[in-house]
Amino acid sequence: IPCSPQPENYSFLSFCTEFPPSSGLNVCMSGSATSCEECILIHPSCAWCAQEEAKSQSKVIPTVRCDLTQSLQIRGCKAQFIEFPSSQTSILKSNPLSTKGSAPSQNEVTQIMPQKISVSLRPGDQTSFQVQVRQVEDYPVDLYYLMDLSLSMKDDLVTIHNLGTKLTEEMSRLTSNFRLGFGTFVDKNISPFSYTEPKYQNNPCNGYKLFPNCVPSFGFRHVLSLTDKVDRFNQEVQKQMVSRNRDAPEGGFDAIVQAAVCKEEIGWRKEAFHLLVFATDDVPHLALDGKLGGLVNPNDGECHLDKNNENSASTQMDYPSLGLLGEKLAENNIYLIFAVTRRYYVIYKNYTALIPGTTVEILDMDSKNIIQLIVNAYNNIRSKVELTVSDQPEDISLSFTATCQDGQPLPGLRKCSDLKIGDTVSFDVNVEARSCPKGAASQSFTIKPVGFKDRLEVTVDYSCDCGCTRAAQTNSSVCSSTGTFTCGKCYCEPGYLGSHCECQEGESGNNPLGACREAEGKRMCSGRGECSCNQCLCYESEFGKVYGSFCECDDFSCARHKGVLCAGHGECHCGECKCHAGYIGDNCNCSTETTSCLADDGQLCSGRGHCVCGHCHCSEPGAFGDTCEKCPTCPDACGTKRECIECRLFNSGPLADNQTCQRLCKDEIITVEALDTDDSAGVLCLYKSENDCVMKFMYSEHANGKSILTALKEPECGGGPDALMVLLAVVGSILMVGIILLAAWKLAITVHDRRAFAQFQNARCRARYELPSSVDLLFNIKFPVPKNQFLHTRDLKWR
């Protein structure tokens, strides 16, 4: 019921106690906020009414102070009493972007805009601002050449003797303000990284026939500070000699950190583009490798150059990690160029993904391409802009949208590529505060392009307090002098109750805990009402009714199903669904009806499952469908589909009645001349028809859930057997068996006879005759005489 127009001197809720419902879901009223600070934390759309309500002797619905701004105004809250902090952005410094780097004063060159802003953030709310970046023309360049002087780089050292002159000539086409510096490295001069035996102290190449003389090993040596005197660079390079270390990896990352952090010694200019060229032909040592030499102290990332311009802490600290390396390069706005041989290109390419602002180029074995390599890397670096964030507070979320040269917004990106020097790109930055930090003090973070000295400083203030809190009145007369009046509401002293602290706890009852608390430790009126003289007055809610002695009940906090309270099949009573007849469950979504589970054949879930809450839960493996009617792998699958094949194709079988067949057999049937039995997605079914023919069909389920039966057009029927052929086959079989048996018998007899004859021959050969040799020669007697027997003369037979 809308409130009627109000006079000028009205009080909040003096004239209307019933309110029109708000459209949509109102999260502000559902939060049960008891203070302005609690209210603004619920949602960015919530506002608090700090207007004092009218005193009344009658019982009225207590004031709903946390709501949408429009709803509060409809209830009669004046605009000046509505607390609604919002997020906003203020630009504090915004110098225009420069076009050239050769300004009278380099401090006047600006490549990012704005330079300083302030944002005020309400928790959960967000604000945005735009950052523009332009790489100006003719910007000063400082290039420091850091070279590996291990023995394998001796050819490269000869090649770069005149590097300064040639490189300056090439870079003069890109900038009119170019300076060059030089440094070298080998590895830590301790075992096992270098040769430490006495005979190698002054000459690690001692005894090495291919190259017998070299200088002692060292970690990092700064040779020449950044200068525009090219001849001096050439002279210093020509003085250098290679050294020799023991293992393959080098101590180059140690040298990179020193070259980055020793700003004064190296001579890095604040207003210049910093390039660090790292030339090597092997992999680097990383953090924890130093433990092999007994170095347990981690690298501190500080400058340790001594009077000889060497790293004095090289043998005292471990190698740096990739994280420390990237941090120091970013702090000092240095672009790192890895110039490495082809063999190690992939390794260093992986490093570039972990270290912002780095690139890698392939170096020839003798460094002949070093000049072109540097120019290409410089152009590659200058063709892209990437933003980085440092010191980002934990409670702040940042999101970027890049708008590059094509003018198309690219959400989630903070990088633009393929740019030309002088191009301007922009980035939209959304800032959101997830919560209020402790103390809600101001915080800051920095946004800067990788390798730039220019940066955007962002100061963040949190809107976590309400303005009305600063006007709090202690012992206010509005609160019966026993409470604090803050933001239109009384906060009573311990022991006092009521919207104006007009009652004492325990005055009207025997409950020592107070009639407005359900139990000790519970919130007053469950946090959903106000205690007025030991009686809870429950807040009104747009969701429904809040009731109960302690406002503990309502008719809208029950379980829902698909967003519907009690699934639309029950009533909500004090947080519990009371289901209508025919429905059960916590949210009344389970129907006790089984009609929807009946299959076409009249069975519940086709006999392959159980009906639960009006839906079939198939228990037979392979069964699916609303009523578990589909199951190609079930044992009875072929039997159930056979009846449909019979009635649909041949008008036979138990379902031959046309109406029954059309009602139960709705599957698609395809007839073919021959079945594809190799289809793994289908099941081959076959059965014997009434005339002893064999009918075959394939049962399969399509991806769209449709059953498909592929059947032969006609059953396969074979002819009857020939009686004469059967008789001849039987007789022939008998004769064959007889012949085989006779052949076997004959073979057995032959083998037996041959064995007996062989035994007879052996017996004859063993016979012995005992006669005088002269008589034997004379009469030529040839007959067997048993061994060891005497032959009498009367037994002799004469020829």
pLDDT, tens only, 614-662: 888 888 887 888 888 777 777 666 777 777 877 877 777 777 766 667 7
Exposure class string for 222-258: b at 16+ Cβ within 10 A, else e: bbbbbbeebeebbebbeebebbbbeeebbbbbbbbbb
pTM confidence score:
0.57
* Confidence at residue 793, expressed as pLDDT on a 0 to 100 scale: 43
DSSP symbol at 788:
T
Torsion angle, alpha carbons of 169, 100, 445, 258, to 10: 20
Q: What average pLDDT does the segment 754-776 reach?
A: 68
Query: Which strand ranges, in their side-by-side order, compose the sheet holding 141-148?
Result: 220-227, 178-185, 141-148, 273-280, 334-340, 358-362
For 196, phi and psi rounded to 5 degrees? -115, 0
Alpha carbon distance 507, 586 (integer Å): 41
Q: Is the predicted pLDDT of residue 158 greater than 70, yes or no?
A: yes
Give the other-Cβ count within 10 Å of 416's Cβ.
23
- Start-end of H helices in 262-363: 263-266, 322-331, 345-354
Which two three-digit tokens encode residue 336? 């790192």
In sequence order, the 6+-apart residues with CB closer than 8 A to the CB of 516 are 497, 524, 525, 531, 534, 535, 536, 550
* C-beta of residue 45 within 8 angstroms of C-beta of residue 473: no
DSSP symbol at 39:
H
Query: Sign (positive/negative) of CA torsion 619, 623, 625, 631?
Result: negative
Q: Is the predicted pLDDT of residue 400 greater than 70, yes or no?
A: yes
Please tell me the chain's helix, strand, coil percentages from 3-state DSSP, rounded to the nearest 5.
25, 25, 45
In sequence order, the 6+-apart residues with CB closer than 8 A to the CB of 221 are 183, 184, 185, 308, 309, 310, 311
Which two three-digit tokens encode residue 502? 């007009």
More confident of the two residues 57 and 442: 442
Q: What average pLDDT does the segment 167-183 reach?
A: 91
Which two three-digit tokens encode residue 415? 């990088």
The vertex-88 CA angle with 86 and 91, nearest 5°, equals: 165
DSSP string, 475-486: T-GGGTTSEEEE
- DSSP E strands, 8-122: 46-49, 66-68, 82-83, 88-93, 112-113, 116-121
Q: What average pLDDT does the segment 51-67 reach?
A: 61
pLDDT tier, 686 (very low <50, low <70, confident <90, very high otherwise): confident
Q: What average pLDDT does the segment 315-322 reach?
A: 94
Q: Is the predicted pLDDT of residue 775 greater than 50, yes or no?
A: no
Give burial (CB, 10 Å; 0-12/13-18/19+) of 506: middle
Give burial (CB, 10 Å; 0-12/13-18/19+) of 96: exposed
More confident of the two residues 536 and 22: 536
Percent of the chain with pLDDT over 70: 85
Q: Is the predicted pLDDT of residue 701 greater than 60, yes or no?
A: yes
Could you identify the residue written with the tokens 């525009």? 228
Residue 128: which of 409, 485, 424 has the closest Cα?
Answer: 409
* C-beta of residue 25 within 8 angstroms of C-beta of residue 41: no
More confident of the two residues 418 and 440: 418
Alpha carbon distance 510, 513 (integer Å): 9
More confident of the two residues 687 and 552: 552
Give burial (CB, 10 Å; 0-12/13-18/19+) of 180: buried
How far, in Å, are 763, 764, 799 from residue 770 at the CA level?
17, 15, 19
Which two three-digit tokens encode residue 746? 């004959």
Give the other-Cβ count within 10 Å of 723's Cβ.
8
φ/ψ region of 446 (left if φ > 0, alpha if ψ in -120 to 50, else beta) reads: beta
* C-beta of residue 62 within 8 angstroms of C-beta of residue 539: yes
In sequence order, the 6+-apart residues with CB closer than 8 A to the CB of 63 are 12, 13, 49, 53, 488, 489, 499
Q: What average pLDDT does the segment 215-226 reach?
A: 93
Alpha carbon distance 424, 95 (integer Å): 15
Query: Sign (positive/negative) of CA torsion 209, 213, 218, 223?
Result: negative
Q: What average pLDDT does the segment 596-619 reach?
A: 83
pLDDT tier, 721 (very low <50, low <70, confident <90, very high otherwise): low
Instruction: Point out the least confidently predicted range of 203-217, 320-334, 661-675.
Output: 661-675
Q: Is the predicted pLDDT of residue 493 greater than 50, yes or no?
A: yes
Could you identify the residue written with the tokens 């063993």? 766
Q: Is the predicted pLDDT of residue 55 greater than 50, yes or no?
A: no
pLDDT tier, 13 (very low <50, low <70, confident <90, very high otherwise): very low
Q: What average pLDDT does the segment 741-757 reach?
A: 89
* Confidence at residue 575, expressed as pLDDT on a 0 to 100 scale: 82
* Confidence at residue 25, expressed as pLDDT on a 0 to 100 scale: 57
Peptide bond before residue 114 is cis, with ω within 30 degrees of 0:
yes
* C-beta of residue 79 within 8 angstroms of C-beta of residue 32: no
How far, in Å, are 99, 142, 180, 419 from residue 175 at the CA level?
14, 11, 13, 17
SS3 245: coil
* Confidence at residue 102, expressed as pLDDT on a 0 to 100 scale: 63
For 287, phi and psi rounded to 5 degrees? -55, 145
Alpha carbon distance 514, 524 (integer Å): 9
Q: Please state whether beta strands 583-584 and 576-579 pair in parallel, antiparallel, or not at all (unpaired).
A: unpaired
Exposure class string for 6-27: b at 16+ Cβ within 10 A, else e: eeeebebbbebbebeeeeeebe
In sequence order, the 6+-apart residues with CB closer than 8 A to the CB of 368 are 159
**Long-range contacts of the stretch 191-195 (C-beta < 8 A, 24+):** 191/246, 191/293, 192/246, 192/247, 192/292, 192/293, 193/245, 193/246, 193/247, 193/251, 193/285, 193/292, 193/293, 194/244, 194/245, 194/246, 195/244, 195/245, 195/246
* Confidence at residue 665, expressed as pLDDT on a 0 to 100 scale: 77
DSSP string, 619-634: -STT-BSTTS-B-TTS
Alpha carbon distance 256, 576 (integer Å): 68
Give burial (CB, 10 Å; 0-12/13-18/19+) of 203: middle
* Confidence at residue 438, expressed as pLDDT on a 0 to 100 scale: 76
Q: What average pLDDT does the segment 512-537 reach?
A: 75
Q: Which helix (H) or strand (E) holds 615?
A: strand 615-618
Alpha carbon distance 725, 483 (integer Å): 120
* C-beta of residue 154 within 8 angstroms of C-beta of residue 118: no
* Confidence at residue 416, expressed as pLDDT on a 0 to 100 scale: 93
Q: What is the mean pLDDT of the chain?
A: 82
Rg for the chain (alpha carbons), in Å? 51
Q: What average pLDDT does the segment 132-136 reach?
A: 91
* C-beta of residue 676 within 8 angstroms of C-beta of residue 697: no
